[in-house]
Amino acid sequence: MAARENYRKIRYDIKKNDILENAAKMFSKKGFEKAALEDIAHELKMTKGSLYYYIKSKEDMLFQCIMRALKMTHDMMDEVEKLDLPPELRLQEVIVGHAKVLTTDFVVGVLRQQELLLPKHMRDAVIQERDRFEQRFLAIVKEGIQKGIFQKEDYKMKAYAILGALNWIPRWYSPEGKLSPEEIGRIMANYLIRGLLTLDKPGKK
């Protein structure tokens, strides 16, 4: 019985993943407001009614897509933390990793949509999860300050400026561009971290 239930869950998760992947593509192509559940069901050779076994509404579909995208950023952060790097190198790898996540087809399709279109309780959940990632990002900066690597002055504003620059990537990124996500991340990391380093203060060498 347990094996059968496990198999059903695996099938359910695979199908739901397919639905969210196709939803992200449809949102990217048509925009959230113009995309219809019928379009997504047609791509998957499903009926609109059968979609409701996996999602409650189009808003719920966008919400689940956004939450999955945010989970991808946390998973990336978990992997970087396993490397046990000093703060400046950890921050660099988080920036590069974040750039890679933000340039995946799924995340580009999702984050170009406006979560403001979601009901308040869904928006609140998105904001809470986003805040959790920001706090983890700030924790790296704070550790760097404690170790004398990063400047304390205006560190929050600088950290949020870095996140703002990164989070804008889905708005302009194109897979046809000459730079890979890795290269984009390295270039941005080298440029953005410089403003935090104590070595960049006037008079220091």
The total number of structural domains in the chain stands at 1
pLDDT band with cut points at 50, 70 and 90 for residue 205 = very low
Structural domain contains residue 97: yes
Map residue 150 onto helix, strand or coil: strand
| CATH at 88 | 1.10.357.10
Q: Tell me the C-alpha distance between 201 and 99, whole Å.
A: 27
DSSP characters over 16-80? HHHHHHHHHHHHHHH-TTT--HHHHHHHTT--HHHHTTT-SSHHHHHHHHHHHHHHHHHHHHHHH
pLDDT in tens, 52-105: 999 999 999 999 999 999 999 999 999 999 998 999 999 999 999 999 999 998
Do the beta carbons of residue 63 and residue 122 sit within 8 Å? yes
Structural domain contains residue 119: yes
Residue 148, amino acid: G
pLDDT in tens, 22-64: 999 888 888 888 889 998 999 899 998 999 999 999 999 999 9
Q: List the helix and strand counts (H, then E) for the chain.
A: 10, 0
Structural domain contains residue 1: no
Distances in whole angstroms, Cα of residue 100 to Cα of each of 45, 161, 166, 182: 31, 18, 10, 6
Full residue range of the structural domain in which residue 142 is found: 62-200
